[in-house]
Amino acid sequence: MPGTIADVHAAERAQLMPLGPPFDGFVEHTKRVSSTCLVTFERNRYSVPASFANRPVSLRVYPERIVIAAEAQILCEHDRIIDRAHHQPARTIYDWRHYLTVIQRKPGALRNGAPFAELPEAFRQLQGQLLKRPGGD
């Protein structure tokens, strides 16, 4: 077949098989969410929406992230913490949005709850205003 590589590729293209779906390379574990809305993986804890407390979930481990799924839907995603130094303490990764339903039932959690230590600035201002009220809720 005379011609360039591009010419030969164009002629063969009709004979090629279509590509399949991309490979979704993760390792899956079944975990139970704790009563504090956390799942543990490799010594670290990751938050899950409060509505899934004490329930089983699927933990999908990718090289760079952790994906938590249940009931045929993705619940949340966190950057994966990879730290092989066992002399350092384990870390807990919170997403404060996972605990909003908890605040509805227990407003005092906004004052002392660990998930609310790193709120966006607008919410931190709201938190400050709420804590100035009598009762601090």
Distance CA 43, CA 100 (A): 25
Same domain, yes or no: 121 and 86 = no
Q: pTM for the whole thing?
A: 0.74
10-residue mean pLDDT profile of the chain (137 residues): values are 82 87 92 95 94 96 96 96 82 89 76 74 74 64
- Domain termination residue (choose one: 62, 77, 93): 93
Give the domain range for residue 130.
Answer: 99-137
Distance CA 81, CA 90 (A): 10
Q: Does residue 29 sit within a domain?
A: yes
Q: Among residues 70, 60, 49, which one has the least CA distance to residue 115?
A: 49
Same domain, yes or no: 74 and 117 = no
Q: Does residue 10 sit within a domain?
A: no
> What per-residue confidence (pLDDT) applies to 35?
93
CB 80 within 8 A of CB 62: yes
Residues 6 or more apart whose CB falls under 8 angstroms from that of 32 comprise 39, 54, 55, 56, 57
> What per-residue confidence (pLDDT) applies to 125?
77
Same domain, yes or no: 44 and 88 = yes
CB 115 within 8 A of CB 94: yes
Same domain, yes or no: 89 and 103 = no
Same domain, yes or no: 89 and 35 = yes
